[in-house]
A = this chain, B = another copy of it.
């Protein structure tokens, strides 16, 4: 009886589906932990901050790992109270193979490396996994689902817009390669290399590491820059409209 009451309390605190539309106190702490763990992983890469504090960062990492482990075990314990798994024969097993449980398990892994000592070879993957703890936040938000809905509702338009942009990208890269290859063989030495120029120009980033120097190349570049205005207007407008539809639908309840 006491255990059952505790389990119910834990479920209410740990599982977002228990309280739709609001976030429990425990989950606020979990969100804070995730952000702190990512923030610490980001800071650790900066030599001027990490130098001399390696041991402190290692212990912090182990602490985060332990806390995420506790949360994982708690979620596993109360998994059979979650309506999404309750109908199943082995609700805990079904939970174990859910996307959010796998993400939670992967979030614990980097701490093992911290305990084992920094294996230099695996360092890059460990760093990337620490940042990917951000994905744990996905459980508390329907942002990705909303964006997915918006993209799916206009998939033909977006496919068309990206096809046209891809077509212009390839043709522009080919023409520019033919125009600038002789003058700048290092920067426009092949069509794949010229695509770097095309992307940098069409997105209007314009770093300035590659740009045409021949008159024909400059004319082509001008045409591509102007065409890119329209090519970028299309997906931008489509996405903004789709997103606004999704948002409005969510604001109005179904009975409306």
Using a CB–CB cutoff of 8 Å, the interface residues on chain A facing chain B are 38, 41-43, 45-47, 124, 127-128, 131-132, 134, 141, 143, 146-147, 154, 156-157, 160, 163-164, 167, 170-171, 173-175, 177-178, 189-193, 195-196, 199-201, 203-209, 211, 218, 221-222, 225-226, 228-230, 232-241, 243-244, 247
Contacts and interface: CB of A to CB of B under 8 A. Distances in A.
Most interface-central of A147, A157, A238 (chain B CB within 10 A)? A157
A188 B224 CA distance: 22
Nearest to A199: B222
B47 A189 contact: yes
Of all A-B residue pairs in the complex, the 6 with the closest CB atoms, nearest first, are A237-B240, A208-B208, A205-B206, A46-B190, A233-B236, A203-B225
Contacts of A236: 229-230, 232-233, 236-237, 240
Nearest to A193: B46
B233 A134 contact: no
A199 B170 contact: no
Contacts of A127: 174, 178
